[in-house]
Amino acid sequence: MDINLEQRIIKALLSYSFYERVKNILTKDLFSGVHALIVSLIKETQETHKTNLSLEDIKALYFELHPPTTANRTLLLGVFDAIDMEKEINDNILIELLKKLHIRLLAHKIGSSAADVINDTSVGLEAFRQMEEWLANREVVEETIFEEVSSDIKDLLDKASPENHYSFRLPSLQDAVGGVAPGHNIIVFGRPEVGKSSFIADCVVGFLEQGLKVVYFANEEPGWKIMLNHVRTCMEMSDKELQVQKDFSKWEALRKNLVMYDETGVSMESVSQLCNRENPHILILDQSDKFTLENSSRSSISRTERLAELYVASRGIAKGGRVVFNVSQASAEAHDHREVTYDMLDYSKTGKAAEADLIIGIGKDAGITETFQRYLTLSKNKISGNHAFITALFVPLTNTWSV
């Protein structure tokens, strides 16, 4: 096993809840050298005290049970320091890694015993019997954690307060919605080239200006184009103006909180794991319909049903404590329409829309290409109840939106 991975697992084992979940597949054979001795000590201590441990406690016990020489003490202190400095990984990811390592170890044991079966039946069969018993007890305890809803009045009012909502950059949209908060699942949709990505960039820059962290999955257009859109919006400049601009301090101050991934075919499960690790305030899924599901509830489902499941997964990610923006396409019915309502969502009359708290349809005038007038229809708004129809001006050169 990789040394750094061993150290991260050791650090996680200090948590009693994590230890309880993996103790049945935990064996010192998975670890090397002094790490194996530390794991054995943690197992013994957890079984005795059944509580969260500190690395200092384990270090003190180790030195008491295995008194080191002066030279070895320096090396051991370095090992414990390295464990302490390891970055924590999501528990579920570590458990999956432990499962794979456990299976690999079992395969090695079976392979070693196969020769004994051929050469000495009694020895080989006894080895397999022991492994069967060993495997029967090696199960991960799946932990279901339920979060109790607070009944404290102050907590409830704080969560409902507009002061704890994230504001939209476009004033008329902010006035209509009143901002968004963790747990909200939002759909932004429209026909191709109506300005969906540019509108999202305007929203994202507004969130960055509030000091919020944003994770963006560019699942359609090349990531560099999307990132450049954000630079234009932030600086309110065209490409020609950016080429001669000297001061980019405004963008430099914001970009540290924007993490963008240029990926296709990403699973919603992977997105959820990344969110647990990165903990963003805002998650952008562009285009949500093109993400995948590793564990669909049914083996054979229609496209419409699969999309509905994707948006159920999106809702689940939002309930994990962040705002999720799903960018999607409108059906041909929405072409050159000012008012784009959620029944014009591509491949969905109700499934996708049912999982949204706010649906923003972007429309434009029929047959007019010279104007940059855009229309935002809030056909579903569980946040404020205001089903507004907003007129905005979109300027492609600077990627900016205004009223």
The tokens for 315 are 């809702």
Would the CA dihedral through 298, 300, 139, 91 be positive or negative? negative
At residue 95, the pLDDT reads: 82
| Residue 293: CB atoms within 10 Å | 15
**In this structure, which topology does domain 159-402 adopt according to CATH?**
Rossmann fold (3.40.50)
Question: What does the domain layout of the chain look like in residue ranges?
Answer: 3-136, 159-402
- Rounded to whole angstroms, how far apart are CA atoms 232 and 241? 9
Rounded CA gap, 189 and 196, in Å?
A: 7
Secondary structure string (H, E, C) spanning 323-363: EEEEEEEECHHHCCCCCCCHHHECCCCCCCHHHCCEEEEEE
Please report the pLDDT score of residue 96 as a whole number.
Answer: 80
CA 366 to chain centre: 39
Q: In which region does residue 265 sit, left (phi positive, over 0), alpha (psi from -120 to 50) or beta (all else)?
A: left
**Residues pairing with 45 in the sheet:** none
What's the pLDDT tens digit per position in 202-249? Answer: 999 999 999 999 999 998 889 999 999 999 999 999 999 999 999 999
Q: Which parts of the chain register pLDDT below 70?
A: 1, 106-147, 295-300, 348-350, 368-371
pLDDT in tens, 319-367: 989 999 999 999 999 998 999 999 999 876 667 899 999 999 999 988 7
Q: What confidence score (pLDDT) does residue 171 get?
A: 96
Identify the pLDDT of residue 243: 96
